[in-house]
Each structure stands twice: as structure tokens, then as C-alpha cells.
Structure 1
């Protein structure tokens, strides 16, 4: 797959659709739509990128930039992100389909797609998605509300919105008919937990750093959840943990043994005080036999892993997905 075929498709469709894509230099193109111009980084691939890669590469793109994928076909997860985020442009050359500025077109036929609604972050809906991924057992709206930490009314709205992703109502409740698609959708759509994220670095080994951070939480009388590499090492061990994420109900001061870090590099422990109100409720639902949840649910862990550093991120996310989809069949 070469960039030229994708650029040619975009040029042909753009003549009718009202946008333009012009190559400027190797690996870059200028995209103009509705009077707004972005500089797009071109990525040509023989296989469409998975959600983890899309999320990671899109996180490196600024508001005035774009990421242009030239791929054979438009996957459901790639379409969903492109229709939600104007920074993602897709040219699916085998299908003659493109997505530009949150609109999808066929070559020679204009098809306005559904707009993704703006407004509040979809934390409740995505919590219901994670609850449905936990087990294949159908559950009522009341059960899903208890697991997700939201109201039954919010669950009712969530399952309606999740219906295109295979969420259906059976005789005994709601279930996920296509859990793999639901997993991919979460990784691409989750906006992050919001709130506060503070990064720290220390010389001690990572296990000791996590233990001290959790002890700081216990002294403060607040609940904490381990996530990221360290949680993945417990839920689906594959690679050596390099960093740890600790979700906490309040901020923790680790300055006695650690140094605060500004930026995304060289930190070892990140403390997150989430604005997302569902994080702790879903974690408890995934660990029903414990007095208190100790790690984030594996879907949230996968989201953190997809944005971590180091090798084998995609493989670690894939292993978490494989285990969740396998274990959920046990009910």
C-alpha cells in the first residue's frame, strides 16, 4: 500500500465533496475542508491499524494537524474514531471510501454520516460497555447500574447507544453480542479519566514504589487502584513493567521518597485522581470477592497500557483482550 493511491482517491472524492488534499513533502499533505487547513502526517499500511495504535499516534497530533491513514479497507473501529475526531483522515482504497472532517464518502457518491454528539464525556456509557465485557451472563438494568456506579436511567440510554456495537437485550437482560468490537470501541473512544495526573520518579524498584504509594493512600484513608504496567502484570503478564499508574480518590504526596516529574518522559509512578466517577465502581465489579478492589478493570488497564512507553504495548493490550474475551465465557 503506497500513499499515492490514497492521495489520488482523496483528490477524486474531494473534487465533489468540497475538500482538498495536496502533498507538500515526503510523508506530509495539506488538507483543507470548510475553510480550515491542517498539515497531515501520512501513514500507509497494508493492514488497518488496531485501536491501540490509532489512539497512540493520534495522541501525538496537535489540534491544527491531522493523521492520514491510507489502508485497504475501513474497519468499524477506524470509522468510529474518524467520525468523532476531525484530526483523523482515512482513505480506504480497496473500498473507494474516505473519511475527512468527520464525514464519510464513497468514490462518486456523497453520503453524509451520522454526527457524533458533543457535550458531556461518555463515561457512564463506556462504564456500561466495560460491565458488559466482564461476563457473558445477561444482566438487568439494575445490575448494570450497580456495577457501573450510574443510574438505571443512564444505563437505559447507554444500552440504546451501544446497540450498533452488538449490545442486545435477551430474555434475562442485556448482553454483548460482539465483545471484541465493544472492546475496540472503548479503546478508541474513551476520552481518558480526566481529573488530576501527577507523575513521580524514584530510584527504588517499581514494586517498592507502588507499595509506598499505596501505603500513602492507606495513611490518607483513601481507596487506590493500581493500573498500567503493574496491573497488566497481574491480569495478563507479558512484558516487564516499566511504570505504574495509581488511581486515587484524592491526590497523594509522594515527595518523601520520589521527585515530581513535569512532562511525559522518565516518570515511574503516575497518580491519577479521576474525574470519571465510574473507575472505582467498575473495578469493584470485576473483583467481587475482594474486600476492596486493588487494580483497575482489565479494559481500563489496557487503555493505560496503550498510552504507556516501552516495547510490546500492542502485544500487551492484545493479550489482555484475549484473556478477557476468553474468561467472560465462564460467566
Structure 2
């Protein structure tokens, strides 16, 4: 999310501790950190919305951060008076990031001259994210034919959710039902068409993204970041250009993508120790993403690694390459797809 990079421009360091929780600290003066729960609203913030939050219990100063598409001046005043931070960031448009960040010792006004969204990044989609259904499709595309029970287990959803996810795809001719030794199984009817469907419908990993800059080569930055995060006991996985370069070399990686699961601990010092510096989205050489989507990780009981680097789910690799900076993204995607397809076919034949 571009808004986190905008906070850096205002002198606020963002340290993700989970997909909906961050540690915020002013970069100047006597640093006093606060851990804030992040709540996203799909509608404009008004004073009445602030009052409704207070009726549910008053958060300690700075411990709630509302991310909204717009907010009135009265709403911002009411929120600041209540000790609630507000980040105004329209996920679908080019508007600048504004709002107020409430810290234990100060309130920081975010100005209208802050960075606008990175044009290369796909806009966020409002509404509930269908992680479970999309993970079911991931498993079909990467592991081949599977029973409804197996799909539910590997995607961590109920069998009813599996059935719901597959019914529309069957009707569209993207998924078919087969029988193996009398056991019904589900399989892609057309692997490429189902991949296209997934890429079109995937809303992104959600969660919190921070941007980093380093002087070393991009693959070396990814390796150093994974080593540092893993040494701290946090799961990590590489995606995007760096992962694609290991599987289907096509172009020089321009930006590393690393997923991490901090499980409540702030991710920051590990990367600075790896000689990375917080940056804006435009100049970043590495993205660190604490995802809300559990499907970015390989299926339970499996592992994916190349050259000793843990990799994200194959579909995540493809999605991240498709949104990477560079004029030859389409060629990189075209080089990666047949490799992933061949790997899926090999997995299905086991």
C-alpha cells in the first residue's frame, strides 16, 4: 500500500507486526513507539463514525489507525481528539495521501504534497477478499487433481467453501470433475485459462507493504533480507523477479519481493542490519510484504526452494512478476508460465 511509504515522507517509521497491525514511531526527536491496530473502511469517515468507535471502547492514544478513502475536516478533528490516527488514501484513484497520525508524544499532519500512488501498482479492490476460494484454485493449479477433502485441507477452508468456489468455475468450463478409483476429483479443465482467471480476480496479498533501498544487487538483497528475517524466527519467502530469475531466467531483477510473517513482532531492525534503508515506492529495490492472504505461502506439508531461497506459492510468483517495474514484464511472464505449468504437470503425475 503506497500510504505506508507516504508516512515515511512525513517522518514516521512503519514497522509491520502483522497484516493488520503496525508499530509507528517518529523518526526525529525522542522516539516513542506505539503499536496500532489497522482498520480499513470502505466509506468516508465522519464524526459519527468516530463516536461509534468510542462507544465500543476508547483506545489508548495512537493505538487505532483508520485507513479511509476520504474524511471531512470535522472527522479528522474528532479522531485526533480521541487519540485515533487517520490515513486518507483512496485505493482506486491518484489522490495524494493525507490525514493525521497520533503518536504518544505528538500528532503529525500529513500534507497534500505527499506521494501519490505508484502507477505500476494495481489499485486495491474494496470489499471482502475471497482468500479461501482463490487458495482453492491455487492448489488445483499447482498440485493437479484433488478430492474435495484434500482441497479443503490444503486451502484451510471447509468442504462447503470448496464446493462453492468450484461450482462457478465448473459452469464456466474452467474446472472439471474426474473419477479415480471411484473417488471424484477436481482438476483444471484448461490450465492456462484458469491461470488467466486467477490473475484477473486476485486482488493482491493485502496486509502491509514497506519499501526498502539497498546498494547490493537485487538478488543479494533478497537473500540478505530472508536470512535476517529467518534468523529472527520469522517465516519468509521470495517472489517476483528474483524468484522468476531462479526458475526461468529472462531479465535482470529490478526489485525484490519478500513476504514475511512477523507474528506480532516489528519487522525493521532485521532489514537495517542487512544494509537496507526505508524508502519510497518509486526508488525501492525491495518490497517487504506482511500479507493478509495466507495463500501466498506454499501449501502445508510442502516446501518450495531454489538455490537455498524459500519461494512463495507459484501463482504468487506469477502475479508479482506481472506487476513488476520494467518494459519487458510481459516477456518475463511468458517465460515463467510454461515452467510453472510443467511443474504442475509433474506434481499431478506423482
TM over 0.5: same fold? Answer: yes
8 Å contact kept, 1:201–1:266:
yes
Deviation, structure 1 residue 298: 2.2
Give the corresponding residue for 2:317: 301
Following the alignment from structure 1 to structure 2, what is the Cα–Cα distance between the partners of residues 278 and 128?
Answer: 9
Q: Which residue of 1 aligns with 2:150?
A: 143
Q: Which residue of 1 aligns with 2:234?
A: 222
For 1:168 and 1:225, the matched residues in 2 are separated by 31
How far apart are the structure 1 equivalents of 2:300 and 2:329? 22
Q: Distance in 1 between matches of 2:283 and 2:129?
A: 30
The residue aligned with 2:282 is 265
The equivalent residue for 1:123 is: 131
Measured in 2, the distance between the counterparts of 1:220 and 1:307 equals 29
Q: 211, 230, 243: which is aligned to 2:223?
A: 211
Residue 162 of structure 2 corresponds to 155
SS in 2 for 1:309: coil
How many residue pairs match? The answer is 216
| Secondary structure at the counterpart of residue 299 of structure 2 | helix
- Call closer, same or farther: CA 1:308–1:210 in 2, change over 3 Å: same
Match of 2:121 in 1: none
CA drift at 1:161: 2.9
Q: What are the within-5 Å matches in structure 2 for residues 71-150 of structure 1?
A: 119-136=127-144, 138-150=145-157
The 2-side partners of 1:301 and 1:152 are apart by: 27
Distance verdict in 2 for CA 1:286–1:144, change over 3 Å: farther
1:283 & 1:298 partners in 2: Cα distance? 14
The aligned residue for residue 110 of structure 1 is: none
User: Which stretches of structure 1, 4 residues or more, deviate above 6 A after TM superposition?
Assistant: none
Q: Which stretches in structure 2 are left out of the alignment for 5+ residues?
A: 1-90, 96-125
RMSD: 2.7
Match of 2:293 in 1: 276
Compare relative contact order (CA 8 Å, sep 6+) and give the higher one, 1 or 2.
2
1:161-176 aligned at under 5 Å gives the runs: 161-163=168-170, 164-172=172-180, 173-176=185-188
Conserved 8 A contact 1:149-1:277: no
Report how far residue 248 of structure 1 moved: 0.5
TM-score (norm 1): 0.59
Question: 2:321 aligned with 1:320, yes or no?
Answer: no
